[in-house]
Amino acid sequence: MKLTVYGKGGIGKSTSSCNISIAFAKRGKKVLQIGCDPKHDSTFTLTGFLIPTIIDTLEIKNYHYEDVWPEDIIHKGFGEVDCVEAGGPPAGTGCGGYVVGETVKLLKELNAFDEYDIILFDVLGDVVCGGFAAPLNYTDYCIIITDNGFDALFAANRIVASVREKSNTHPLRLAGLVGNQTSDRDLIDKYIEVCPMPVLEVLPLIEYIRVSRIKGKTLFEMAESQGELINICDYYLNIADQLLCQPEGVIPKEIPDRELFGLLSNCYLNPKAQVNNKNIGQIDEEVDIEFMLL
């Protein structure tokens, strides 16, 4: 099974990806996580350091692909999860999306894809241009990491559009949303009411998730010495279990930008209407002013 993980930049996508990868490994699967971001830190919490990228390796090999071996680019992480970082060109000098395509090409030439039960692409932010949407060409399911905020759901809607477009030519489905670090889910529920899709899991506000990123450890590794984290790991195991059941998934239909803006803005500007079931177009002026002052 091949998966892509997308989401707004800074939403906790890589932290979630690493913990989901470990969850699959805990279920006895052989897992490869591929970081598709020029800053090459997708696998940091799995390995504890910034591993050499494919671009780094190709430079050392003078771009002779035939001289690259699996052990040059695949690094072992916690829980026996294998890790690859695509890397990218220096800022402003080239296309990072092109590097993603070359990464896939090289891994195929090395027959690496045939060695794993699960391959997880952790892809740069909410950028779904041709290059960074390329991993969708190779995967069975897309997972979108979001929170209960306007910006993250707006980004999610753009990713939904990319999944819909790619599903026209590839057997791709959206597995669903994962809400990360959120105390509420009212906006998530409002969004999926209009744009139906599964919600695989919603993780509450947990400081340990942020701390794990700083420490360079997955929550599963931290749980070995901090038993109180075991229950948090269950969230990720639940996500893995749902995906291992090979769900049907959905081919989503994105919401037009103006419609989405209005939908989510009303939730912010008129929360009283959500509670009191007022007309959605009736905006409370006092709440509107409070929102503008935030």
Per the annotation, the verdict on 253 as an active-site residue is no
**The one catalytic residue among 39, 61, 190, 215:** 39
146 is in an annotated binding site: no
**The one catalytic residue among 82, 126, 147, 166:** 126
Task: Determine contact, residues 222/229, Cβ cutoff 8 Å.
Answer: yes
253 is in an annotated binding site: no
21 is in an annotated binding site: no
2 is in an annotated binding site: no
**The one catalytic residue among 13, 37, 166, 217:** 13
> Reduced to 3 states, what is the DSSP secondary structure of residue 118?
strand
129 is in an annotated binding site: yes
d(CA 294, CA 289): 9
36 is in an annotated binding site: no
Per the annotation, the verdict on 190 as an active-site residue is no
Task: Determine contact, residues 181/205, Cβ cutoff 8 Å.
Answer: yes
Longest dimension (CA), the chain: 67
Please name the residues in contact with 279: beta carbons below 8 A apart, sequence gap of 6 or more: 273
**The one catalytic residue among 8, 37, 122, 217:** 8
Distances (CA, A) of 229 to 115, 153, 255: 31, 28, 37
54 is in an annotated binding site: no
245 is in an annotated binding site: no
Residues in the annotated binding site: 10-15, 39, 95, 129
Residues in the annotated binding site for [4Fe-4S] cluster: 95, 129
Q: Give the catalytic positions in this structure.
A: 8, 13, 39, 126
Residues in the annotated binding site for Mg(2+): 14
Residues in the annotated binding site for ATP: 10-15, 39
